[in-house]
Amino acid sequence: MKPLHAQYPFLDAAREAVEAADVDLARVVRSDEAVLTRALDRIETALDSGRVGDTHRRDRVELLSYPVARVLVSLVDQHILTRKYAAAEAATAHERLQAAFTEGDDLKSRDRERLTIQTLLTEFGMRQTVRETAEGYAVGVGTYLTYASDKREDQWRLVNRPLQDGEVELTEVELLALVEQAIEQRVADGLPLGVPEAIATHLEAERERLEERLADLDLTRDIDTVVPDLFPPCMSALLDQVQKGEHLEHHSRFAIATFLTTIGLTTDEIVDLFEVNPGFGEEATRYQVDHIRGKTSPTQYSPPACSTMQSYGDCVNKDNLCEQISHPLSYYEAKLDDADEDELIDWREEDEAATSES
Ligand code: SF4
């Protein structure tokens, strides 16, 4: 097991090194505390910071913590965790690669094996469709779309890129960003794994700990997009009731109001929405929403978790994604993540367009 395998445990060579060492994963989770601790650390750091943390000083521990982390992620089996974990492994590798390419001398001085762009392209089956040019790289459009389609920024949209003879021009930095995407896909590939009972039993405490972390997670961080078509079924149903002017119990009003404030609606926008409902006087609604968002109270409230929604009877019309999440915000975040760019038209932008057309 080489340092390179520990640094980049998703590589084929790293997997082969683990196989060649004939490692018994059941024995590792039973008796190797250092590996288990680092595996848990990989995932918890992924949730906290979008990276998987510093490498363990022992290459063996670092390398084996990767398959054990994948087992843990599989046991929890929640879309949001799988996605955040895979993205964190990829982001960490990306940072290491960038550092390695800019600080090559430092790595050589420690006599370490190095990854090159060419070995990475071979690793991810991109060698045939990427070629070096005087300015950077030319990437076949098929390969480009495979790895750039999940990127949201305008710069990655094909219409915004020079395209010549079926190739897209990229800088080295941009090519590395595509490699990061390939790494994320590699890490997520095959998850959730089928975990033998003998291993699952030993990881019961770690699984529960991760589930608690997920339930506590502040899922409100990055959401500022209002696309009702992607709302979780429970919130769609509540919004529908509001707009039909039906009476909502206090807990239901609280759930939909906290959800809408959390995803970025202003108090005015929510008041406008609720105005059609006879149960909502403007003043009372404005007061309640300002209170929820922490403007007139010391607390900014979050929407209830699925378990609370279920106990109040607000969890309705569950679909397949509902089986994989524990919070309506996780549902919405997963939907936003999986949506095509075309689907992500913010409700407020649609309204503005309609107003300016009329
Ligand atoms: S499982 Fe959660 S997200 Fe799905 S409908 Fe129920 S409360 Fe909403």
Quote the CA–CA distance of 87 and 83 in Å, as a whole number.
Answer: 6
- Give the pLDDT confidence score for residue 48 in this predicted structure: 85
Ligand 1 lined by 306 (C-beta under 6 Å): yes
- Please give the domain boundaries of the chain with CATH numbers for all domains: 3-213 (1.20.930), 220-357 (no CATH)
Ligand 1 lined by 309 (C-beta under 6 Å): yes
**Three-class DSSP category at 190:** coil
The best mutation among 230, 308, 331, 336 to test binding of ligand 1, ranked by most ligand atoms within 8 Å of the C-beta, falls on 331
Q: Compare 86 and 110 and report the one with higher pLDDT.
A: 86
Q: Is the pLDDT of residue 108 over 50?
A: no
Ligand 1 lined by 219 (C-beta under 6 Å): no
| Sign of the Cα pseudo-torsion (86, 89, 92, 94, in order) | negative
Q: Is the pLDDT of residue 59 over 90?
A: yes
DSSP lists the bridge partners of residue 168 as 139, 163
| Ligand 1 atom closest to 330 (CA) | 3
Share of the chain above pLDDT 70, in %: 87
| Ligand 1 atom closest to 319 (CA) | 4
Q: Is the pLDDT of residue 341 over 50?
A: yes
Ligand 1 lined by 329 (C-beta under 6 Å): no
Ligand 1 lined by 315 (C-beta under 6 Å): yes
Which of 15-19, 94-98, 219-223 shows the lowest per-residue confidence on average (mean pLDDT)? 219-223
Report the separation in Å between the CA atom of 255 and the middle of ligand 1, taken as the mean of its atom positions.
11
Q: For residues 330 and 79, is the Cβ–Cβ distance under 8 A?
A: yes
Residue ranges in the chain assigned as alpha helix (H): 3-7, 12-20, 25-31, 33-49, 59-76, 79-102, 104-109, 117-123, 141-148, 172-188, 197-202, 204-216, 233-243, 250-262, 267-274, 282-292, 306-311, 328-338, 347-357
Q: For residues 10 and 93, is the Cβ–Cβ distance under 8 A?
A: yes
- Give the pLDDT confidence score for residue 247 in this predicted structure: 83
Quote the CA–CA distance of 41 and 22 in Å, as a whole number.
Answer: 24
DSSP lists the bridge partners of residue 164 as 167
The best mutation among 79, 230, 231, 234 to test binding of ligand 1, ranked by most ligand atoms within 8 Å of the C-beta, falls on 234
Which of 208-222, 233-247, 326-340 tops mean pLDDT? 233-247
Closest-CA residue to 306 (of 211, 210, 203, 228): 211
Report the separation in Å between the CA atom of 318 and the middle of ligand 1, taken as the mean of its atom positions.
6
Quote the CA–CA distance of 112 and 264 in Å, as a whole number.
Answer: 48
Report the separation in Å between the CA atom of 91 and the middle of ligand 1, taken as the mean of its atom positions.
30
Quote the CA–CA distance of 336 and 163 in Å, as a whole number.
Answer: 28
Ligand 1 lined by 231 (C-beta under 6 Å): no
Q: Is the pLDDT of residue 222 over 60?
A: no
* Mean pLDDT over each residue of the chain, to the nearest integer: 85
User: Which phi-psi region, left, alpha or beta, contains residue 38 (left: φ > 0; alpha: ψ -120 to 50)?
Assistant: alpha
Instruction: Give the contacts of 158 (CB within 8 A, at least 6 positions apart).
Output: 141, 144, 145, 148, 168
SS (H, E, C) 260-271: HHHCCCCHHHHH
Q: Compare 233 and 264 and report the one with higher pLDDT.
A: 233
DSSP lists the bridge partners of residue 169 as 138
- Residues 8-21 have pLDDT tens digits of 999 999 999 998 88
Report the separation in Å between the CA atom of 38 and the middle of ligand 1, taken as the mean of its atom positions.
33
Ligand 1 lined by 28 (C-beta under 6 Å): no
Type of residue at 195: V
